Structure 1
């Protein structure tokens, strides 16, 4: 059952940590600078903030000096340890049923995971994102989750299945071939949302784990769990950061436009952010700074495109801001 607000089932963090231990890394090295310790290696149902799990995956990439560690470990895992949401999916008769049930009951394991299946039936598309700060680097976690999810589907499908397209919100410019080889299709980076697109005949493939009676029982448990879960408050700062991120590149981002999206007046938003020890302009600045570094390191976007995506009126404004943040020009930062 769910833990405090912003927490989620951290079994994937446990899987990663155990893999690193088996590879010869010490507990001290694995968990240095994180909230985790050796206890998570044996916890059956760990609950931690998603942001901490995401950070552990990035730590693993640094520790191993392996940009594809998320994919490489994820493609060998299945996600049955996640619990109810996986088993209620696997009890469905088809791949499409698995996807629909997994999405429906996802909040039982992770209130911060947002899955959209509105285009699943007609177009074979399932999209997802996370209710965490857009500035938080999450590449390894997302690729691990997507790989282990697809590996699970393949393991219990009566026939080969690969998506037609995979989309990731994060950018990547290196070692893409290994990723596309596993997914068996084109992988698009820098997309509006994370997602899989499946062919209609793949959605109709039967699952070897299908069990009609078990499905009825598990759906009952899932519906009861959902009824007991109140919508978790992710915190105003994250809401504002996400609202800013959605508007960057689409025109001027102002406190007025963000406040309107959140259903409050600019004065109320300013007062609430002040109580959180920050301000709208500080959040905007910090988000631009974080995203700019990610774009420069992980994408092949030209500087003018990055300036546009960050909501700057021109390249000069972006250059000036980046020099103020880092002491270097964007071009210099990209080459060091």
Structure 2
């Protein structure tokens, strides 16, 4: 996998879609072309793909096949071993709870079009929320059902006992074959629910795994860490997105990580993890941007006449005292001193730039 390159998937879904179409005597070539999967040979058994194009192919194929549960059938047809490193890594964990933690950590390295957040639920269970990238969520149905069904199938294949969620939810609506979905997952399924989620009970999470292997887990974890590092987004990407969102939100007093994460379409936990992968944190990005903007407002001719309370408000502070304390911490000077000495502001900026080189 290439560091900083475009998002990719393992191609397992593409391969499964092509095999399913050929099994129904449907020529996959026109659909592959419509999905924008340039360079993918439909006759091949596997192919890498951009997440958005991969999802589009699955949706087009479901329509061509006229199959309302196309995604579930794909999950049944795919061999979990074809998922590669991720599958063998989670299989080597001691319990299903440990496997889910590894799944959350390393899923983006296997498929940059899907992210999962695993959080604790009442009674010691877990909620697994999925987020799909690369295509508008409103256009996805069978792709999402495939991924959730595949996650459950993997859990069932590695656990030393039965695994049935207590509930699954989907953000898209469904008017037919709901019973087939509930039969697959073995639990109630809610549609048009606002989230793509699997809920698991503590009894399932505590199950031991059939192929648990501490030594293999250690080896594969090291390989997975390397893969995650190579597949991580280029360093400025998420940080720049956070900065851009903060520039819009700060004047309204919205400096909380939850507000910025929501503006970027992810959870606060996912945003923190993505920033950590880039070697920074939300608080560091926020403080760095506030310092940059404060110095600009205090020294730039077009902002220099602003009163300090206006600047404090533009930076998301509710009062000038909080801004002044923060500014002193950043620069060692009072804001009024820097405002009255533009050369001092430029010197602080230049010193900061030298410190980053």
User: TM-score range with shorter-chain normalisation?
Assistant: 0.5 to 0.7
Alignment match, 1:200: 202
8 Å contact kept, 2:32–2:42? no
2:126 to 124, 127, 131: 124
> Hey, what's the Cα distance between the residues in 2 that align with 1:234 and 1:194?
29
Alignment match, 2:86: 85
> Hey, what's the Cα distance between the residues in 1 that align with 2:137 and 2:81?
30
Q: Secondary structure at the match of 1:196?
A: strand
- 1:116-155 to structure 2, matched below 5 A, reads 116-119=117-120, 122-134=124-136, 136-155=138-157
Question: How far apart are 1:203 and its partner, in Å?
Answer: 0.8
> Hey, what's the Cα distance between the residues in 2 that align with 1:150 and 1:116?
15
| TM-aligned CA distance change 1:259 to 1:11, over 3 Å | closer
8 Å contact kept, 1:79–1:149? no
Question: How far apart are 1:13 and its partner, in Å?
Answer: 1.2
> Hey, what's the Cα distance between the residues in 1 that align with 2:2 and 2:173?
31
| TM-aligned CA distance change 1:151 to 1:260, over 3 Å | closer
4+ residue runs of structure 1 moved beyond 6 angstroms? 233-236, 257-260
Question: How far apart are 1:140 and its partner, in Å?
Answer: 0.6
Q: Secondary structure at the match of 1:47?
A: coil
> Hey, what's the Cα distance between the residues in 2 that align with 1:73 and 1:160?
21
Alignment match, 1:31: 32
> Hey, what's the Cα distance between the residues in 1 that align with 2:165 and 2:51?
26
| TM-aligned CA distance change 1:41 to 1:188, over 3 Å | farther
> Hey, what's the Cα distance between the residues in 2 that align with 1:90 and 1:40?
31
> Hey, what's the Cα distance between the residues in 2 that align with 1:224 and 1:235?
20
Q: Deviations over 1:17-42 (max 9, x none)?
A: 11221232223354352223662553
Alignment match, 1:14: 15
> Hey, what's the Cα distance between the residues in 2 that align with 1:214 and 1:156?
15
Question: How far apart are 1:261 and its partner, in Å?
Answer: 4.4
> Hey, what's the Cα distance between the residues in 1 that align with 2:262 and 2:86?
35
8 Å contact kept, 1:6–1:234? no
Question: How far apart are 1:220 and its partner, in Å?
Answer: 0.8
Alignment match, 2:310: none
> Hey, what's the Cα distance between the residues in 2 that align with 1:98 and 1:53?
26
> Hey, what's the Cα distance between the residues in 2 that align with 1:140 and 1:261?
26
Q: Deviations over 1:33-90 (max 9, x none)?
A: 222366255365x332211011111111111111211112213434321211121111
Question: How far apart are 1:191 and its partner, in Å?
Answer: 2.4
Question: How far apart are 1:165 and its partner, in Å?
Answer: 0.5
> Hey, what's the Cα distance between the residues in 2 that align with 1:159 and 1:258?
41
8 Å contact kept, 2:94–2:212? yes
| TM-aligned CA distance change 1:195 to 1:233, over 3 Å | farther
Alignment match, 1:190: 192
User: How many residues end up aligned between the 2 structures?
Assistant: 248
Gaps of 5+ in 1: 244-256, 265-336
| TM-aligned CA distance change 1:28 to 1:234, over 3 Å | farther
> Hey, what's the Cα distance between the residues in 1 that align with 2:197 and 2:45?
30
Question: How far apart are 1:114 and its partner, in Å?
Answer: 1.8
Of 111-120 and 82-91, deviating more is 111-120
Question: How far apart are 1:133 and its partner, in Å?
Answer: 4.2
| TM-aligned CA distance change 1:2 to 1:41, over 3 Å | farther
| TM-aligned CA distance change 1:89 to 1:136, over 3 Å | same
8 Å contact kept, 1:5–1:234? no
> Hey, what's the Cα distance between the residues in 2 that align with 1:2 and 1:78?
26
> Hey, what's the Cα distance between the residues in 1 that align with 2:262 and 2:95?
42
> Hey, what's the Cα distance between the residues in 1 that align with 2:177 and 2:193?
18
Q: Deviations over 1:229-268 (max 9, x none)?
A: 43259989xx89xx9xxxxxxxxxxxxx99994689xxxx
Question: RMSD of the alignment, in Å?
Answer: 3.2
| TM-aligned CA distance change 1:135 to 1:221, over 3 Å | closer
Alignment match, 1:215: 217
| TM-aligned CA distance change 1:232 to 1:22, over 3 Å | farther
Residues 1:71 and 2:94 are matched in the alignment: no
